[in-house]
Amino acid sequence: MKAKKIQFLTRMATSTTDAGVTQRKGKAAEDAPAKEATAKEAKADEAEQPKLPGKIQQRKELGLKSSGAKFSLRLVFIPILIAMAVAFWKIKFQGVKFNPRVLLNAAQESTEYTEQEYADWFKPVGNKYESDIVHITTRKLLTPDTTCGQPKVLTPEPVHIVDVALDRADQLRAEGKVFLALNGRDDGVLIQWQPSDNCLHELATAAATALGSDPDFFPNGMRFYNGMGEAISTAAEVDQERIVYILVDFQIWVWPGIQVGHTRTVGDVKLKTISLKPLVFDVEGFFDGKEAEAIIAEGLANLERSPVDSPDAKDGYHSDRTSYTAFLDDTEFTRDFRRRTASLARLPSPSLAERLQLVRYEAGQFFRKHEDYFDSKDFLGKKNAAVADYRAWCAWAAAAIDGLRDSTGLPDAFAAGRAMYPNVEDTLAWQHAVLGAFLEDAAASNFFADHADVEWGDWITENVGNKAGGIMEILLESRGYMLPHIIAAWEKRAGLPQLHYTMPKPPVSGVSHYFRWIRWAKERVQDLGAAVPVDMQPTGTYYPTYRTHFEKKLVAFVLEDHSPDELDALLGKEWAEWLAANKDAENVVIDGARALPKIFELAMRAWTKRAGPDFEYTIPTQLRHFEPNRFVTLFLYLNDVAEGGETVFPYSKERLVTDIKREGMSECSEGLAVPPLKLHASLFYAQTPDNHLDPMSLHGGCPPAQGIKFGANSFTWNADADEGSQAWGFGG
């Protein structure tokens, strides 16, 4: 019912060689259009600049204070474009051979930065693992105290931070209260607490439980953060802040939106909320005009049409993406942006940020709606289990009704043989009844829009209306996450607590265990510092990474530590032979652990044997699956655009600009359209505060109606970005 999803390769290449692979082919054929676009831009700048439309002028109110400063920055940028125009004229009319570096050198002579400054910025740098880029700010875990009692939750339902806590720390302190919320959330609870109580782990547990967080994950670690995304771990710090956020296990900080228009200052950077769902911030003060010009100058010569990863893109390109991109090389300049991006987003390490990617949109060029995260690879390697879960629930619910000693209060429709009596074999009346209840609740709560699944909502409605058979199985094969909501709709109408169902958790995948262990081992290396064996340090041969070659090293350790007979006893003959035969294969640990978690355990213990007792790891009983992926994007607007070039978020209900019409991209008239304002940026999350992939983050780059738009992506991951890219098969 949906067109096949296009996965766009907005990813980094980690070296000059990789950059050539990433940019694909066809450069020679595209040089001419690129030169023409440069000439058009220069000509447009030499002419009188048109007045910005009123809505773009409103966008300036997001933070621009000085028109004089902005005008001076334009004066800096105009000479670059003039130099490009002169170069183009010589190429086209005087037959001068095109030399991008000479062209850029000419442009640099007209900018604020000096030739030496530019050279220092972009000279090659050494091994990333020898630098501070891989430094990790490790977790400050709260410690349980068995002598503590249960803190008193004062609010039976979650309350909004603006209503009870924002800017009221003194009042909360005087009343002996603290406001606690989950990561990135604006609703929380008030709990009675004084510094003398201490008991911070118990405070976190009480609040997180009241807010619906899964207690099974609490033993994996709980942390406190203040409203500025800084870790706090003492009673004195909680007393000072009185507004506290709870992060569980390895969750990564997400800035709470608070409310549209809320502004906070992070160092010298202003962060203003412009949408709550999806979460989007306007950013001002993160970079300056000199840096904007340097990004353009450094990336311009390497611009290539943006590639996509899709079966529909036979030559590597797709009509949904007509912009041009270039990743900047690994230099001190790009490393500085990695550090600053990580600091602004409160990521645990600069290594989670990619190198900058220059993006150019000529008039009419666009990037249609897409997500920044990747989903073309199935690390868990298993089909959605929701259909089996549905069948198990039906059997349980029918048995629960049959076993009621007193059916008083049970609606007639739930009696055996009636429409709402669960019957897994009935693919018509029963499915229509329960899905009808689900649709009713979904309409009241705006469920499908909030989950970015309006098309599936329409599909269910149409097929229930048509009395189609087998709807549930088709739905759950693609949208298994809806099952708990379908069950909740049934339980709501049944109205009996005896019919409340707790869905059993499946066993944790060995792949989930493997990825979490890598996270833990990296942190442990950071914490132990010089005490770590040389081979296990960041510059060592056996430093834990998400790269596939690390998996091969682990398997080599396993085969070295165990004889074939021992492996037969541990894994079974078939798997023992498989491991030996595939020891040099890509993803050997992941592929093995997916089917047999014991393979992860053997790999982990083989590495621990060599790393020493300080690396003894306790395998969690339960954990939420994690895999390397994009997490938050910072998109920099490098120049002003007379008209068009917005970043659009179709699922947002906010509006900065209305009545937009962009040829070839209808979604520009939907949702939040953020006009490009030079030296501003948009920060938005590809994952939810629970660190799940977020389809609400769907966005697109609208075409400029006039002129050219330059931007830069600073993509970040939930893991080392280079290693994560390689784990996905993109190089790195």
The 3-class secondary structure across 489-554, one letter per residue, is HHHHHHCCHHHCCCCCCCCCCHHHHHHHHHHHHHHHHHHHHHHCCHHHCCCCCCCCCCCHHHHHHH
Amino acid of residue 420: M
Poorest-confidence range of 12-26, 405-419, 678-692? 12-26
**What pLDDT is attached to residue 41?**
40
Containing structural domain, residue 490: 385-499
- Distance of alpha carbon 602 from its chain centroid, rounded? 31
Q: Inform me whether the pLDDT recorded for 510 exceeds 70.
A: yes
CA dihedral of 306, 307, 311, 314, whole degrees rounded to 10: 100
Q: For residue 532, how many other CB atoms are within 10 A of its CB?
A: 20
On the question of pLDDT at 88 being above 60, the answer is no
Residue 55 banded pLDDT, cuts 50, 70, 90: very low
Among 84-98, 150-164, 173-187, 377-391, the least confident range? 84-98
> CA separation (Å) from 512 to 232, 239, 504, 720?
28, 37, 18, 17
Q: Residue 63: what pLDDT?
A: 38
Nearest to 136 by CA among 412, 620, 525: 525
What confidence score (pLDDT) does residue 382 get?
Answer: 67
Number of Cβ within 10 Å of residue 715's Cβ equals 26
Q: DSSP for 50-105, please give it.
A: PPPPHHHHHHHTTT---HHHHHHHHHHHHHHHHHHHHHHHHHHHH-PPP-HHHHHH
Q: Is 310 helix (H, G, I), strand (E, B) or coil?
A: coil
Q: Indicate the pLDDT class of residue 4, thresholds 50, 70 and 90.
A: very low
Reported confidence tier of residue 306, pLDDT bands at 50, 70, 90: low
At residue 250, φ and ψ (nearest 5 deg) are: -100, 25
Helix (H) or strand (E) holding 263: strand 263-266
Closest to 160 (Cα-Cα) out of 184, 181, 183: 181
- Label residues 202-229 b or e (16+ Cβ within 10 Å = b): bbbbbbbebbebeeebbebbbbbbbbeb
260-275 pLDDT per residue, tens: 999 999 999 999 999 9
Position 375 scores a pLDDT of 87
Work out the average pLDDT over 269-298: 97
Three-state DSSP class for 43? helix
* DSSP at 466: T
Cβ-contact 162, 259 below 8 angstroms: yes
Give the tens place of pLDDT for each residue, 424-469: 999 999 999 999 999 999 999 999 988 889 999 999 999 999 999 9
Number of domains in the chain: 4
What secondary structure letter does DSSP report for 356? P
Please check whether residues 487 and 562 belong to one and the same domain. no
For residue 333, what are the CA distances in angstroms to 118, 411, 555, 571?
9, 68, 38, 49
Whether 198 and 243 share a structural domain: yes
Confidence of residue 8 (pLDDT cuts 50, 70, 90): very low
Answer yes or no: is 519 within a domain. yes
Residue 33 domain-assigned (yes or no): no
If we measure between CA atoms, which residue out of 60, 637, 654 comes closest to residue 646? 637
Q: Tell me: do 432 and 351 sit in the same domain.
A: no
Q: How many CB atoms lie within 10 A of CB 539?
A: 13
Element (H, E) at 245: strand 243-248
The residues with which 644 forms a beta bridge, in sequence order, are 704
Strands 187-192 and 159-160, bridge-based pairing: antiparallel
Per-residue confidence (pLDDT) for residue 450, from 0 to 100:
87
In a domain, 39, yes or no: no
For the stretch 126-167, pLDDT in tens is 999 999 999 999 999 999 999 999 999 999 999 999 999 999
Determine, yes or no, domain membership for 98.
Answer: no
23 pLDDT above the threshold of 50:
no
Residue 231's DSSP bridge partners are: 225
**Residues, the chain:** 732
The pTM of the whole model exceeds 0.75? yes
Averaged pLDDT for residues 526-546: 98
- Please indicate, yes or no, whether residues 346 and 401 belong to a single structural domain of this protein: no
Shared domain check, 274 and 221? no
Paired sense of beta strands 304-305 and 280-284, if any: unpaired
Last residue of a domain, one of 615, 640, 656: 615
Helix, strand counts (H, E) of the chain: 25, 23
697 is a domain residue: yes
Point out the domain boundary residue: 615, 639, 668. 615
Cβ–Cβ < 8 Å for 542, 607: yes
Could you tell me if 530 and 490 lie in one domain? no
Where are the alpha helices (H) located in 562-637, listed in sequence order? 564-571, 573-581, 588-595, 597-611
Question: How far is 700 from 321, CA to CA, in rounded Å?
Answer: 10
CB proximity list for 648: less than 8 A, separation 6 or greater: 369, 660, 667, 668, 670, 671, 672, 673, 674, 699, 700, 701, 702
- CB neighbours of 58 closer than 8 A, spacing ≥ 6? 656, 657
Question: Are residue 397 and residue 363 in the same domain, yes or no?
Answer: no
398 has pLDDT over 50: yes
> How sure is the predictor about 607, in pLDDT bands with cuts at 50, 70 and 90?
very high
Name which residue leads in pLDDT, 34 or 260: 260
Give the chain's mean pLDDT: 85
Compute the average pLDDT of residues 671-698: 94
Q: Which two tokens stand for residue 540?
A: 């060592």
| Same-domain check for residues 389 and 495 | yes
DSSP string, 116-164: HHHHHHHSB---GGGSGGG------PPPP-TT--PPPB--SS-EEHHHH
Is residue 35 included in any domain, yes or no? no
Residues 371, 389, single domain; the answer is: no
Best CA proximity match to 488, nearest among 503, 473, 474: 503
Q: CATH code at 678?
A: 2.60.120.620
- pLDDT exceeds 50 at position 500: yes
pLDDT-derived band at 657, boundaries 50, 70, 90: low
Question: What whole-number distance in Å separates Cα of residue 493 and Cα of residue 421?
Answer: 12
101: left (phi over 0), alpha (psi -120 to 50) or beta: alpha
Give the burial class of 79: count Cβ atoms within 10 A of its Cβ; 0-12 exposed, 13-18 middle, 19 or more buried: middle
Residue 355: inside a domain? yes
Tell me if 260 is assigned to some domain.
no
- With cut-offs at 50, 70 and 90, classify the pLDDT of residue 581: very high
Same-domain check for residues 241 and 277:
no
**Residue among 317, 409, 432, 441 nearest 9 (CA):** 317
The span from the CA of 254 to the CA of 265, in Å, is: 15
Please name which of 459, 493, 452, 499 lies closest in space to residue 476, comparing C-alpha atoms.
459
In whole angstroms, what is the distance from residue 344 CA to residue 24 CA?
32
- Both 286 and 366 in one domain: the answer is yes
Last residue of a domain, one of 615, 649, 665: 615
Q: Do the strands 243-248 and 177-182 form a parallel or antiparallel pair, or are they unpaired?
A: parallel
Q: Give yes or no for a contact between 199 and 148, defined as CB atoms under 8 angstroms apart.
A: yes
Same domain? For 389 and 494 the reply is yes
Instruction: Kindly tell me if the per-residue pLDDT of 722 is higher than 80.
Output: yes
pLDDT at 723 over 70: yes
